[in-house]
Structure 1
């Protein structure tokens, strides 16, 4: 498989393949762009079907981080890493320390942090071998609550634009995927009066949200057909595709998953259907914003972080207005905004 010919390669500066025989580590680090600063993006552990899928995920996610960090106006470039394997089976101190040594060899071009199936404890193990990690306990800590808060604000921004009212009372929201970020999002939505319809492959996660937030559980495939106001994809990417778009009844797509559009063209199809899409890397930037404040000269400030996260509402409002004015899909407007910032600086 030729990496340079990948659709998602997009002139990545560096793609590194990492392995360690003793621990069983197999990982990929993708550094997309460092014009605004060192590449920063979380590490994901996933049992990919094949190496090609892992490479594609790393490339797409790292490019997304370049744009996410730019639109969030952070002095970071974009990068991402993936560790190949089943998180329930291969996690070990030996493996994460081996990965930390690989990060150290990159000399600060890329900083890692938490992502899917990677916890603060896992990052702490990497930290035994390298300082090129962020999101540590005792500093900025777990970024999930901040991602959830930003996503909640993004849903409110979408409602405000579409309806002129951000009140969530009785608004029906279908949440797909119930990981740590989605749980926090459901809490915000429930407290704001929304009606929740939820699904996940993990039945315990479903039962927890049903019990805690009076949510209605639905089937994995049923989530697309619900007569709801908002579809919130919060699992893995590419759930907005030719098959699902035809089934969606929601008029807003706003969730915390990365790479929600299977292909760029789906953003325009969604717009033509009258669905307002909150670009994923804009709405889910709360976590990386919080991580940034770990690097602040005066030390971490939760208040400063939250104030910055609240800017997601304003940024999305600008993107929605510009999309409507230019009759162009919101994800393309977001890309243009990111490219302008990368070209001209923060």
Structure 2
């Protein structure tokens, strides 16, 4: 080494005389540290057509790039995305020639006609309203012609009621008793024409102490008074809408009846018939009344003997008119029950 030092001493004066110029060709930096060895890992599954690796620029042309592994460089700062300069003024779209607004021109011909209006279909007026209107407007002949188009039963009823409606709507009924009486008679006449067509109706039933003296004239037997075996029982019924028949002797009111008695279990109990005094499950009877005037109120009285055995019983009565087309039965309630006590 002493020889090397003497050589440097000799070259020093020569070096000082030369111009100071240094040129470094290679990049001098810290030596990259090799990463620690990794254990062999199982190879990942092969992927189809892997994308080729991106080309890496030479280290000499990149700035501020540190090596990560030998032969590979990593940027310390990500590249900024490419942006478009916003300062560039956009050219406004070209405008075409201005279009003038629509100009209404006066027509030379006659104006067009308005479209025809749709005619609304008005439903026809019911015959009853037409008849009432004609009668109220003082055209009774036209009202009668309209009523003739109805059914025969409707014609008779409308002809009887229409004058009552017209007169009652214009009369002072509170201060005109004569008009009220006339309207009452007309309403009764109209109701009498409907009675033969109306359904029969039993309005009241009751047990009496004896035979009734007339319509609504009876003494009702208390419910607590039980009958004795074979005691006489009087049963009272009020009937509506029965009507009458005109005969040479007067007005005939005719009704047919059938009665049966059932015990608490619903079994039919035989009773004595009114004509031959034999026991029968159902006893039939008939009521006929001939009067000089039509009966406005009608009742039926039926008498029978109480069953011999004690218990609770119910009487069922069915009534029908002379033709047999209209029938009605007593209601199935406690009003038709009676009790028979022991001897």
Name the TM-score, length of structure 1 as normaliser: 0.20
Query: Per chain length, whose mean CA-contact separation is higher, i.e. which structure has more relative contact order (CA < 8 Å, sep 6+)?
Result: 1
Which has the larger helix fraction? 1
Q: Which has the larger radius of gyration?
A: 2
Name the TM-score, length of structure 2 as normaliser: 0.20
